[in-house]
């Protein structure tokens, strides 16, 4: 495979690009991965169509860009614990990734990026929305950027995974995705509200409605009001792009500067996908 065939086409004026001219199962050299890595840094999220990948080859692709993680709560496959089989059965509502979030921001060192590959997709529905937190930060007024610069926010998995909040179905074997109850569910970690990307140096907002609990040092009313404002701001359509899935599609996004939202509008249909997340570093 020659990297000269790789073509990058933006999908919106804000973020996202579709990459063609590459067979992801054949990538083996740095000269082939570097254009893909650069496209990820330039566009925040990149998409590939018409790929023919097995779970093993999805994992092999992800390894070209970092170290795959084993999730402390969501169980991976028996053969490859780094791979999560994301199943949504027909006739049920989606329960995984529904709501704006950055994957695993409750980790002390949150995930660098995520790779998601579509195997069985509904004929319509089930799109994923992506939002640029760099653009969200840039759109704030200068006084607000100055105010946020020194703040830190507490992140936790409790809102998404605590059985006292979400019920025990996830842990009783009654959910389509397997979960394990661990101390990680209730642990808290704090990160800067504005983080600096370690590779590009660009600043992003780093709070999300799924995993951010509160702003350190603020009264609860102040914290709730500020976070509510930031959540609304981050979800503005001007910062978004939308991806329509099809079998053989793969999305690769940068959790350091991107949030995403899995739409739950395909209850009648089954969906099967494979996800791998890559280990990141402590936000600064």
Which two tokens mark 93?
Answer: 């509502």
61-93 pLDDT tens trace = 999 999 999 999 999 999 999 999 999 999 999
Q: Decide if pLDDT at 30 tops 80.
A: no
β-sheet bridge partners, residue 87: 272
Residue 282 lies in a domain: no
The answer to whether 242 and 18 are in contact (CB under 8 A) is: no
The question of whether 101 is a catalytic residue gets the answer yes
C-alpha triplet 24, 29, 32: angle, nearest 5°: 55
Instruction: State the catalytic residue, choosing from 101, 135, 155, 191.
Output: 101
CATH number of 56's domain: 3.60.130.10
What is the residue range of 262's domain? 3-277
What pLDDT, on a 0 to 100 scale, did the predictor assign at position 1?
Answer: 40
Instruction: State the catalytic residue, choosing from 103, 155, 195, 214.
Output: 103
pTM for the predicted model, two decimal places: 0.96
The question of whether 71 is a catalytic residue gets the answer no
Which two tokens mark 276?
Answer: 């791998």
200-216 pLDDT tens trace = 999 999 999 999 999 99
What pLDDT, on a 0 to 100 scale, did the predictor assign at position 247?
Answer: 97
Residue 284 lies in a domain: no
Q: How far separated are the first and last CA of the chain, in Å rounded?
A: 37
Whether the CA torsion 159, 161, 163, 167 is positive or negative: it is: positive
Q: Decide if pLDDT at 229 tops 90.
A: yes
The question of whether 275 is a catalytic residue gets the answer yes
The question of whether 165 is a catalytic residue gets the answer no
What pLDDT, on a 0 to 100 scale, did the predictor assign at position 173?
Answer: 81
The domain tally of the chain equals 1
**Within 13 A of 13's CA, how many CA atoms are on the CB side?**
2
106-159 pLDDT tens trace = 999 999 999 999 999 999 999 999 999 999 999 999 999 999 999 999 999 999
């Amino acid at each position: 495979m020659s990297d000269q065939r790789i073509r990058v086409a933006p999908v919106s004026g804000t973020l996202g690009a579709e990459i063609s001219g590459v067979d992801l199962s054949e990538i083996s050299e740095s000269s082939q991965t570097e254009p893909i890595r650069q496209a990820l840094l330039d566009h925040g999220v990149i998409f590939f169509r018409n790929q023919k990948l097995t779970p093993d080859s999805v994992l092999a692709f992800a390894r070209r860009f970092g170290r795959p993680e084993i999730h402390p709560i969501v169980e991976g496959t028996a053969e490859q614990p780094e791979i999560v089989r994301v199943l949504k059965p027909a006739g049920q509502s989606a329960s995984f990734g529904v709501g704006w979030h950055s994957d695993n921001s409750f980790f002390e060192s949150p995930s660098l990026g995520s790779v998601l590959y579509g195997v069985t997709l509904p004929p319509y529905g089930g799109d994923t929305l992506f939002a640029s937190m760099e653009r969200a930060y840039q759109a704030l007024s200068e006084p607000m950027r100055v105010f946020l610069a020194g703040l830190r926010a507490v992140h936790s998995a409790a809102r998404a995974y605590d059985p006292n909040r979400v019920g025990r179905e996830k842990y009783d074997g009654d959910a389509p995705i397997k979960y394990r109850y661990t101390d990680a569910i209730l642990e808290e970690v704090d990160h800067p509200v504005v983080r600096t990307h370690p590779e590009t140096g660009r600043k992003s907002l780093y709070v999300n409605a799924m995993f951010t609990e509160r702003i350190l040092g603020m009264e609860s009313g102040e914290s709730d009001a500020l976070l509510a404002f930031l959540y609304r701001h981050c979800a503005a359509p001007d910062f978004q792009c939308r991806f329509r899935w099809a079998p053989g599609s793969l999305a690769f996004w940068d959790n350091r500067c991107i949030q995403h939202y899995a739409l739950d509008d395909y209850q009648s249909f089954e969906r099967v996908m494979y996800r791998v997340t890559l280990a990141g570093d402590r936000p600064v």
